[in-house]
Chains A and B, each alone.
Chain A
Amino acid sequence: SQQGEEDPQALSIQEGENATMNCSYKTSINNLQWYRQNSGRGLVHLILIRSNEREKHSGRLRVTLDTSKKSSSLLITASRAADTASYFCATGNTGNQFYFGTGTSLTVIP
Chain B
Amino acid sequence: AAGVIQSPRHLIKEKRETATLKCYPIPRHDTVYWYQQGPGQDPQFLISFYEKMQSDKGSIPDRFSAQQFSDYHSELNMSSLELGDSALYFCASSKLGTQGDEQYFGPGTRLTVT
Residues of A at the B interface (CB closer than 8 Å) are 1-2, 30-31, 33, 35, 40-45, 48, 50-51, 88, 90, 92-93, 95-103
Residues of chain A with a CB closer than 8 A to B62's CB: none
Residues of B at the A interface (CB closer than 8 Å) are 31, 33, 35, 42-45, 48-50, 55-56, 58-59, 88, 90, 92, 96, 99-108
Cross-chain pairs A/B with CB under 8 angstroms, 18 sampled: A2-B58, A31-B101, A33-B103, A40-B88, A41-B107, A42-B90, A43-B108, A45-B104, A48-B101, A51-B99, A88-B43, A92-B103, A96-B31, A96-B33, A96-B50, A97-B45, A98-B103, A100-B42
Residues of chain B with a CB closer than 8 A to A33's CB: 102-103
Contact at B58–A43, with CB atoms within 8 Å? no
Residues of chain A with a CB closer than 8 A to B103's CB: 33, 45, 90, 92, 98
Residues of chain A with a CB closer than 8 A to B99's CB: 30-31, 50-51, 92
Q: A45-B104, A50-B99 are in contact. Are A96 and B44 (CB under 8 A)?
A: no
Q: A45-B102, A51-B99 are in contact. Are A95 and B90 (CB under 8 A)?
A: no
Residues of chain A with a CB closer than 8 A to B31's CB: 96
Give the CA-CA distance A90 to B50 in the complex, in Å: 19
Contact at A48–B102, with CB atoms within 8 Å? yes
Closest to A4 in B: B42
Give the CA-CA distance A26 to B24 in the complex, in Å: 32
Closest to A50 in B: B99
Contact at A2–B45, with CB atoms within 8 Å? yes
Residues of chain B with a CB closer than 8 A to A1's CB: 42
